[in-house]
Amino acid sequence: MSGTANIMPPASLITDAEMELRAEVRAFLAEQRAGGRRVWAVDSWLSSWDEDFSRELAARGWVGMTVPVEYGGRGRTFKERFAVVEELLAVGAPVAAHWIADRQIAPSLLKFGTEEQKRAYLPRIAAGESYWGIGMSEPNSGSDLASVRTRADRVDGGWTITGSKVWTSGAHRAHAFIVLARSAPLDTDARHAGLSQFIVELAQDGVEVRPIVSMNGDQHFNEVFLDGVFVPDSRVFGEIGRGWQQVTSELGFERSGPERVLSTFPLLTEIVQNVAEGRLDLDADLGRLVARVTGLHQMSMAVSGALQRGESADVSAAVVKVMGTTTEGDVADYADLLLGDGSDVTSELTRLTTRAVDQRPGFTLRGGTSEVLRGVIARGMGLR
């Protein structure tokens, strides 16, 4: 009878086996940090690209973890992957290179890919060597993704794709992306029909990647122009006409992870460090934030438990994403309110804060905006 009793799966504690795995990852990360050659950052899963690090993680079995062994993966459980990923995010490890491939491309390939596609791509993804982008948004299609105008036209032996994708994170370094395109004319009564997905390699003829510079001068996303790009039938992803269902499933993988809570966790750690050193006063607002992040960790554990059991978690994942992305942004703002020209904080705190404040607007946009996700929650409660 209770509304939320249905939204949130029951609490899920960390098992001893998961704790051992976490300890292994922590030991590895501590060693890496002592070595000091990497950058530890906020929002590292979007912007800290380090291919050597990706390969090192893969060598330890921490990329493509849930991919079956026969496709070069490790055949581990969803919850084990969750544990590893949380540990990596908590320190701000440079995981951007393999992030999208590991998070959503591998599970989507397993769900919708052909046998040949799985054999062609999964082993290299699991080796931390194959990097992917997300080809959903377009200049005129953001939240309203079903309105994409990129066109797929049937030709002999395949399709040609024409149009442009935008905000494509990492496309300037990635190898491939999955493009959502309209393969049949728009039927205004069935807008979700006639969409399909295609695997496009970014080095292909007709693909042009143009950088988009972010407000702080960095570059992490791009505009990608597709000018009659030929996609053979063997690179159609899933079924023609089923693009909407597939992309919804892909978004499920994209939305439900702990990166929607932990983008600023390295900053939170540094704030606490400054408090411990007596550079900042201890106040109640800090406790409120730490408590919320802890609660969000517990909620994402519960969601991952549900996904592990094969239950649908669209609504609970939306709940975590709305609150998680708000809270990780609140951490940035909390820090920013403490800093001023009179403060005596570590330079690391200043560096992380500046970065967090710049990245923050994206937190509640990417992967579906908070407004759109509130709609998902409302629908889940039967209001739409």
Partner 1 sequence: MNEDFLTPDADLLEMLDGVFSSYREAHAPLAGRLTLDREFWAELDELGLVRLTGAEDKGGSGASWVEGRALVEAAVRHGVRVPAAENDLLAGWVRDAIGIDGVDAVSNAVSTVAIVDGNGVAKNVPWAGEADTIVVVWLVDEGYLAAEVPAARVRLTPGENMLGEPRDTIAVELDSIIGSPVAAETVAELRRRSALVRAVQVSAALECSLDLALEYVPVRVQFGRPIAKLQAVQNLLADIATETSLARSSTDSAFTKALVEGWSAEGLDFLVAVARSCAGHAASVVVRNAHQVFGAVGTTREHRLHEYTRAALAWRGEYGAVRSWDLQVSAAARNAGPGGLWALIAR
Ligand X SMILES: Cc1cc2nc3c(=O)[nH]c(=O)nc-3n(C[C@H](O)[C@H](O)[C@H](O)COP(=O)(O)OP(=O)(O)OC[C@H]3O[C@@H](n4cnc5c(N)ncnc54)[C@H](O)[C@@H]3O)c2cc1C
Q: Which parts of this chain interact with ligand X (CB under 6 A)?
A: 46, 133-134, 136-137, 142-143, 167-169, 221, 362, 365-366, 368-369, 371-372, 375
210 binds, options partner 1, ligand X, none, Cβ within 5 to 8 A by partner type: none
Q: For partner 1, which stretch binds (CB under 8 A), given 37-45, 94-102, 192-200, 290-298?
A: 290-298
Asked if 121 and 130 touch (Cβ cutoff 8 Å), the reply is yes
382 binds, options partner 1, ligand X, none, Cβ within 5 to 8 A by partner type: partner 1
* Residue 220 binds to partner 1 (criterion: CB under 8 A): no
Q: Which residue is nearest to ligand X (CB)?
A: 142
* Residue 283 binds to partner 1 (criterion: CB under 8 A): yes
Q: Which is nearer to partner 1, 77 or 298 (CB)?
A: 298
* Residue 219 binds to partner 1 (criterion: CB under 8 A): no
* Residue 3 binds to partner 1 (criterion: CB under 8 A): yes
Among 233, 288, 337, 343, binds partner 1 (CB under 8 A): 288
- Helices and strands of the chain, counted as H and E runs: 15, 8
Distance (Å, whole) CA 329 – CA 365: 12
Distance (Å, whole) CA 47 – CA 24: 25
The distance of closest approach from Cβ of residue 201 to ligand X in the complex, given in angstroms and rounded to an integer, is 16
286 binds, options ligand X, partner 1, none, Cβ within 5 to 8 A by partner type: partner 1
Number of residues that bind partner 1 (CB under 8 A): 58
Among 213, 295, 312, 343, binds partner 1 (CB under 8 A): 295
* Residue 90 binds to partner 1 (criterion: CB under 8 A): yes
Binding mask 135-174 for partner 1 (x = CB under 8 A): ----------------------------------------
Asked if 4 and 54 touch (Cβ cutoff 8 Å), the reply is no
Q: Which long-range contacts (CB under 8 A, 24 or more apart) does 61-67 make?
A: 62/25, 62/88, 63/98, 63/102, 63/125, 63/126, 63/127, 63/128, 64/102, 64/106, 64/122, 64/125, 64/126, 64/127, 64/128, 66/106, 66/107, 67/106, 67/110, 67/122, 67/125, 67/126
Q: Which is nearer to ligand X, 80 or 223 (CB)?
A: 223
Q: For partner 1, which stretch binds (CB under 8 A), given 59-67, 139-147, 187-195, 294-302?
A: 294-302
The distance of closest approach from Cβ of residue 185 to partner 1 in the complex, given in angstroms and rounded to an integer, is 30
**What is 198-224 written as a DSSP string?**
EEEETTSTTEEEEEEE-TTS-EEEEEE
275 binds, options ligand X, partner 1, none, Cβ within 5 to 8 A by partner type: partner 1
* Residue 42 binds to partner 1 (criterion: CB under 8 A): no
Q: Which is nearer to ligand X, 45 or 82 (CB)?
A: 45
CA distances for 25 relative to 36, 61, 348, 372, angstroms: 17, 11, 23, 35
221 binds, options ligand X, partner 1, none, Cβ within 5 to 8 A by partner type: ligand X
Among 116, 144, 285, 311, binds partner 1 (CB under 8 A): 285
* Residue 313 binds to partner 1 (criterion: CB under 8 A): no
Asked if 105 and 169 touch (Cβ cutoff 8 Å), the reply is no
Distance (Å, whole) CA 363 – CA 343: 27
Distance (Å, whole) CA 111 – CA 215: 37
Among 297, 355, 360, 366, binds partner 1 (CB under 8 A): 297
**What is 135-161 written as a DSSP string?**
E--BTTBSS-GGG---EEEEETTEEEE
**What is 249-313 written as a DSSP string?**
HHHHHHHSSTHHHHTTHHHHHHHHHHHHTTSS---HHHHHHHHHHHHHHHHHHHHHHHHHTT---
Asked if 57 and 74 touch (Cβ cutoff 8 Å), the reply is no
Q: Which is nearer to ligand X, 50 or 259 (CB)?
A: 259
CA distances for 280 relative to 121, 270, 293, angstroms: 49, 11, 20
Among 19, 27, 69, 337, binds partner 1 (CB under 8 A): 19
The distance of closest approach from Cβ of residue 135 to ligand X in the complex, given in angstroms and rounded to an integer, is 6
282 binds, options partner 1, ligand X, none, Cβ within 5 to 8 A by partner type: partner 1
